[in-house]
Structure formats: C-alpha cells, structure tokens
Amino acid sequence: MNEFDENENRPENLPDETPVEAPQETAPQNDVPESEPPKPTETPEPEPTPEPAPEPKKLPEQPAPVSNEWAYSWDGQSYQKRNSGKGARKFFIIAAICLVVSIAICLPTILYALNSDNRRNPSGNSSVAGGDTSDVQGSSEEDISYEVSHYVDPSDVSYTEESAESQVYEKCAPSCCTVYVTEKNGYSLGSGFVLTADGYIATNQHVVDGGIKFKVIFYDGTEYEAKVVGEDSVRDLAVLRIEAKGLTPLEIGNSANLKPGQHVIAIGTPYDMTLEGTMTMGVISGTERKIKITDDSGRVTKTMTLIQTDTSINPGNSGGPLINMKGQVVGINSLKIVEDYFEGIGFAIPINYAADIFNQLIQYGKVVNEPEDDFVHAAAYLGIQVTNADNGLESLRIKPSCEYPEGAFVATVTPGTAVYAAGLQPYDIITEFCGVKITDITSLTDELANHKAGETVSMTFFRFDRRFASGEYLTIKFVLDSAK
C-alpha cells in the first residue's frame, strides 16, 4: 500500500486521525509519486483473487469527512470509472459537431454537382441506360467536359462615350509628336506639334539645347530625321524641319480670349517613349502671370508673361501644345513649379506671342524684329567685370600721368558678347550709359536694370593711350545681350 503524508493537502479544520496499520496482504496498487497528481490509467487486467485477508481490527469510529474532495485515500480504479461516462459523452458531442460541420461544408458542393448533372442530362436518363456503355467505359477524366455557369457576363449593350475631350484628342493627336534629342552623353525627350504641312515643327528651345542629332516621331510610329532651323533662348522657342509633305498642322487659336475656368488639354510624351501621346486635362488657372526665371545661382535672368494651368505638365511635355475645346492651340507647354508642397501649377507660352516668333525663326533662323509688346522681359547682360576707377588702377599698380574721370573701370570683357564686338576693351573707364552719368559700379548696375535684352543702347567711356599719359572719350552703340 502507498504511503501518503497525512498533512499534505489536509484542511486545517479536520480533526487528527489515528494512524492505521494496513493489513499485510492486499491487492497490488500502482505507485503514485507524492509530487505528481494521480493520472487515470487503463483498467488493469483481472488478476487471480488472493486469499482472503485476515479481518482487520475494528477501528474506532471516525467523524464523517467534511467533503469527498478532501478524501485522503486514492483509488485509481474507482476514479477511472467515475470519469469514463463523462469522457464518452464528450467524445460523442465532438463527433456530432464535426459531422454537422462536414455536412454543412459539403452540402453546397453536392447540390451543385447534382444540378450540373441535371443540366447535362435534362431527360434524367443516364448515358448507360440505353445499354451502350462503351463510351463511358472508354472515356478518361480528361475527356469529361464541364459546363460553367455564367454568374458574371459583360454587358451586351454597346456603349461608347464620346466626350468633348476625347473628340479633341482624336482630332489633334495625329499632329503632335515626340522630339528625340541625341546628346553627347545620352538622349533627352520633348514634345512638339506640326506648324505647316511641309514639315515645320514647333517646340521649346530648352528641348533642343545641347543636342547633336534630332528625330521627330509621330504617335503612329512614323519618324523623321530633323534639323533645327531657328531658336530663341530668351523666349524658349525653337523650330525643327523634317522632310515630309501633306502633314496636318494644328489650328492656331487666340490666347487673348482665354479666361480662368475654361477647359484645356495637353498632349505630349512625359517620362519616356512608352507614354507617348499622353493626354492630360485641366482648366485655365490664370492669364498673364509674371513668372521670374532664375539661373543656377538664383539670379533672375528674365520675367515671362505666361498662361497658368492645372493641367499636368511633366518632364517631356515641354514643347507640346495646350489645346482648347475647339481643338486650337492656345499655348506651348513650357514649365512647372517643382517645389515640395506644390502641385498642379504649370505654365504655357501664349500662342499670340509665340506665333510671330515662329514666323521669324522659319524665315530668318533668329529673331530680327523685337516685338513691341513682348511677353519676355529678359535681364540685360553686358559680359564685363568692372570696379571703381581708382581701385582698378591701384590693383594693377598703374599710375597714369594724366587726369582721368571717375566711373566704372573695365577689368575684363567676355569675347563673343555684343559689347565686345562694339569695341569695349579692358582698362576703359565707362562714364555714360544711355546718356546717364556713371560714377561707379552701383550707378552702372542701376541704369542697366532699366533696360532689357534686345534693346539698342549707347555707352561712352574714357580710353588711355599705351603709356597712360593721355586719353580720349569714345562712344559705341550695340544691342544688349540677355542674361541666360
């Protein structure tokens, strides 16, 4: 018999029990460790009945236990019998639940299969009922065809939306193109459109700038070699020429009639050739916007009067047309604001200004007649480095033996500029600009700001002789260059 610690798991309120010595011969029982709870075991096979044990001594009566829960003796066999009914009930309950779930899952499949059989054989007769089973027996699983029910079908109603925008696109897209520019270290893409039936193509000057070879590619895949016949960097316009006849030019509109809110579309090739012929749509956001253009150093080089639109204009759209709902070009897409927190702010050159420039570029290759009402006010550029007269002479350790005027002392002159071609040289002292007296650098800069690129101006300066012993005043005239 197992020995148990009587004080283990003993309630405090039970009375002490007198230890009892068990009979020496008793039925074998499983050893149960003190530290582990009893586990139900399988019912042992019956063993030979031992000889009757001698009658144990009569024990004194003990008080009734408070609860079965606190019984100290352990009878594994009795425990197993008490719990065997509960285990069976749990098993049958779980089995019943599994059966119900399985039926619920399989029932739709069975019903669908029966329904499919009925559709394949509406008469209800099986293929073997007629006695010929050769087809059934000789068929394989691959030969069985299944009928698929049509739960979702495309509409039988033919509907094609012909919006105003799609009609404009169909009209104008054949006259729009991609401008493919081969550069020294790669290539770039821009957009353009047909100006004339004999092959003049409009685009932006910054699209062709730096290119060594050009192609015009229409959206149907037709491509032509092209050459630049004229360009104007100040107004950012250029004209290409291809050897083609019978092209359809886009109709030119009137940008002076534009009003905010009017619908427009842009057609071009943003990003790369896979997106050629992309159309974006928006409205006129504003007209006659004064936009300042700066160089890499942040210096303002020109101010342009442009059309503002929320039509998406991306890299590659430059040079393409901005088109109204009549299919007329009203602008040339040129730039957009590229800043964080800003979107939908694009700009186009008004066609009313651009038309005259295109005509001059086709005829002369450059702008020969400056428009009186120009849309670009380019900052004037002289291409010289100057300092005050005394400081310049002192830095060069030159001590003239004659009197000289105050003014702007010329240190260098950039070759190729208009003022260089007019005859200005280093060591000259500028004393007048367009009739205004010049006394130092500041006065020259202030007066230059009052003029724009393309204007004809006059300049008076004092020139020393070779020995700086005397000098003379000279006056020149030239056309101001633009600050690019």
Are 271 and 178 a contacting pair, CB within 8 Å? no
Q: Kindly compute the dihedral angle of the four CA atoms of residues 179, 184, 187, 192, in this order, to the nearest 10 degrees.
A: -10
| Catalytic site residue from 188, 191, 236, 312 | 236
Rounded CA separation 47/300 (Å): 112
297 flagged as catalytic = no
Are 301 and 292 a contacting pair, CB within 8 Å? no
Q: Tokens at residue 146, please?
A: 């299944």
73 flagged as catalytic = no
Are 319 and 191 a contacting pair, CB within 8 Å? yes
Q: Is 184 helix (H, G, I), strand (E, B) or coil?
A: coil
Closest CA to 198 of 244, 248, 250: 244
| Catalytic site residue from 318, 334, 374, 481 | 318
Rounded CA separation 434/443 (Å): 12
Q: Is 378 helix (H, G, I), strand (E, B) or coil?
A: strand
451 flagged as catalytic = no
CA-CA distances (angstroms) from residue 417 to 361, 388, 413, 441? 21, 22, 8, 19
Name the amino acid, one letter, at 91.
Answer: F
Rounded CA separation 180/178 (Å): 6
Strand 223-232, strand 186-194: pairing: unpaired
Q: Which residues have a catalytic role annotated?
A: 206, 236, 318
